[in-house]
Structure 1
Amino acid sequence: MKTPLRLVLLSALFTTTLAQAADLIPIDVHRDANCGCCKKWISHLESNGFKVNDHVEADMSAVKQRLGVAPRLGSCHTAVIDGKFVEGHVPADQVLALRKRNDLLGIAAPGMPMGSPGMEVDGRSEAYQVIGLTREGKDVVVAEYPAQ
């Protein structure tokens, strides 16, 4: 009698795990092997429902150029979701919002703002913006984060 019950329980666990894995949102992250803050941003994404495909790159400049990330929007890592770029330490909620913005080619948190996801250091923070790049090549502010 124990065996059938155990199989039912294992089957339910397996089915639940598969369903949870299917609910994760896939995103590709391109980063330099020597950057620790990139790994912290990846952890931020994973804790917010993303399935990260981590790509360690030898030439991030070439990756950014290929994906259309303007130098003025640059940061340390570049992600791709639904064919759009996500540059730098963009909060997960803004990555999710990007999926609904057909007017944008991508979004960026230029530089490496202290206090942004992955850049939490000694409680320091600075105000920063998430900038969207329109299909016409214009920058638009899609979110603002005050210093804490």
Structure 2
Amino acid sequence: MNTPLRLTLLSALLTSSLAQAADLIPIDVHRDANCGCCKKWISHLQSNGFMVNDHVEVDMSAVKQRLGVAPRLGSCHTAVIDGKFVEGHVPAEQVLALRKRDDLVGIAAPGMPMGSPGMEMDGMSDAYQVIGLTRDGKDVVVADYPAH
């Protein structure tokens, strides 16, 4: 292959890769090093158009406290997008919806509901809710996921 053609192809590949990276939505995920379900949730986000900045933490309680996650909303990992928290196994569609909710400081799928993204187990699932936390500290249900 001649040099000008090679350079043209490399340039096109680089431009395409940069354009794809620019289309990804950045999100920071804070997790414990020993948590496998957190890695599965990260994979869920990545397959839904997110660019995940993975932060392995020593003290997740301190991270949650710093980000304003109320203990009643707690789960295993905490993400931050657009300055808002995402606690636990929240589906990507709700993370995207949070970006449009100026009334909320964050959302959570409290606990570790079976069947939620990252907690899939042989077709078993629990009904669960995604809870939003308003600026004045009230909980609101933003999504219901039935057992199936």
Aligned mates of 2:65, 2:3 — CA distance in 1: 57
Q: In the TM superposition, what is the alpha-carbon distance from 1:122 to its structure 2 partner?
A: 1.6
Q: In the TM superposition, what is the alpha-carbon distance from 1:3 to its structure 2 partner?
A: 2.5
User: What is aligned with 2:46?
Assistant: 46
SS in 1 for 2:45: helix
1:64 partner amino acid: K
1:97 partner amino acid: A
1:34-64 CA-partner distances (Å, limit 9, x unpaired): 1100000000001111111111111111110
Aligned mates of 1:17, 1:60 — CA distance in 2: 34
Q: How does 1:106-125 map to 2 (within 5 A)?
A: 106-125=106-125
Q: In the TM superposition, what is the alpha-carbon distance from 1:121 to its structure 2 partner?
A: 1.1
Alignment size in residue pairs:
148
Q: In the TM superposition, what is the alpha-carbon distance from 1:113 to its structure 2 partner?
A: 0.3
Q: In the TM superposition, what is the alpha-carbon distance from 1:5 to its structure 2 partner?
A: 2.1
User: What is aligned with 2:22?
Assistant: 22
Aligned mates of 1:76, 1:88 — CA distance in 2: 6
Cα RMSD (Å) of the superposition? 1.0
User: What is aligned with 2:95?
Assistant: 95
Q: In the TM superposition, what is the alpha-carbon distance from 1:6 to its structure 2 partner?
A: 2.3
SS in 2 for 1:53: strand
Show structure 2 runs of 5+ residues with no match. none
Q: How does 1:1-148 map to 2 (within 5 A)?
A: 2-148=2-148
TM-score normalised by length of structure 2: 0.97
1:81 partner amino acid: I
| Percent of aligned pairs with the same amino acid | 89
Runs of 4+ in 1 over 6 A off after TM superposition: none
SS in 2 for 1:20: helix
Q: In the TM superposition, what is the alpha-carbon distance from 1:123 to its structure 2 partner?
A: 1.4
Aligned mates of 2:17, 2:57 — CA distance in 1: 31
